A and B are shown apart, each in its own frame.
Chain A
């Protein structure tokens, strides 16, 4: 019992830091900026991005173009929403789902030993699929989870329009 107390307080302190409105706002900006930046080139070059999607050999070819469109636009819309604070939790959740898919795709590709371009930010000339990519996406997944869990409407358009504080 005596030892439990400091552990408990450390945990509370950590939660207090992670749930801090400023921290969550920074994570929103980070995730939003990354996703909007990632989507721009994919929307501009859908053919190239669809090729990058097919290279993973996970999505059936027939649905690969649709999937590429979905991914590119989800990144854009979720990115804009999470920055602006419109449907913020839903946007964070969409980003969480996408990152989860990316992580699964990376793990599958690493197991299969595929030497492919990851198609992450640029539709062309990008990063290969490797462990650093996996670590990056896991960290981003954690950030998206924190926003889902602790977002309280700090500096969001929704709150501005609702007129509350």
Chain B
């Protein structure tokens, strides 16, 4: 037993050395990651959001007369500080075409129905989508994350992860697809009429 514990110390030492090698390699790598990811503080995120919303958006009263607090970044669940927006704000952002909607549900649910123009970024497969997202969506883009509805946490998780990756303008529409659909708002990809079986 004593021998086994001593061996575990040896293994721990090897892991510690590996960490050191990893950190050194990372500092020279072209694909380096931040050693201690910082979650943007509320001020930074708000500033980013204001930057977006205060830029001229002709004809957009819903957004330019904002109670700014409704977009305010609140301390939220796990890691991030994200704003949470209700249905009407989501609709306003949709109409203003100022935001990228990210659908955190799986590809099948996405195909069956989504907010028009939304980008599918399933949270449980996020590593697969990392390159596409970072290549196509600039970091200061206003992003609205949603999933099925108020009870799912994929949109929160996706938003947290986007903030950690470096996106500065991320908000969550917790009402999700369920509220959007109930409100009768525009949708795309709804299943084509069932094959006429009757």
> A residues engaging B (CB < 8 A)?
43-52, 54-55, 57, 61-66, 68-70, 72-74, 76-78, 81, 87, 89-98, 115-117, 119, 123-125, 148-149
Whether A117 contacts B14 in the complex (CB less than 8 A), given A48-B130, A93-B7, comes out as no
Q: What is the size, in residues, of chain B's interface with A at 8 Å between Cβ atoms?
A: 40
When chains A and B are docked, how far (Å) is the Cα of A26 from the Cα of B165?
41
B127 lies within 8 A of A52 (CB): yes
Whether A94 contacts B78 in the complex (CB less than 8 A), given A62-B37, A69-B23, comes out as no
B12 lies within 8 A of A55 (CB): no
When chains A and B are docked, how far (Å) is the Cα of A78 from the Cα of B157?
33
When chains A and B are docked, how far (Å) is the Cα of A142 from the Cα of B17?
24
A47 lies within 8 A of B128 (CB): no
Please report whether the interface of chain B is mostly helix, strand, loop or mixed according to DSSP: helix
B18 lies within 8 A of A70 (CB): yes
Whether A51 contacts B127 in the complex (CB less than 8 A), given A73-B18, A73-B22, A74-B18, comes out as yes
B33 lies within 8 A of A93 (CB): no
B37 lies within 8 A of A65 (CB): yes
- Check: B28 CB closer than 8 A to any chain A CB: no
- Check: B25 CB closer than 8 A to any chain A CB: yes
Contact residues in B for A70 (Cβ distance below 8 Å): 15, 18-19, 22
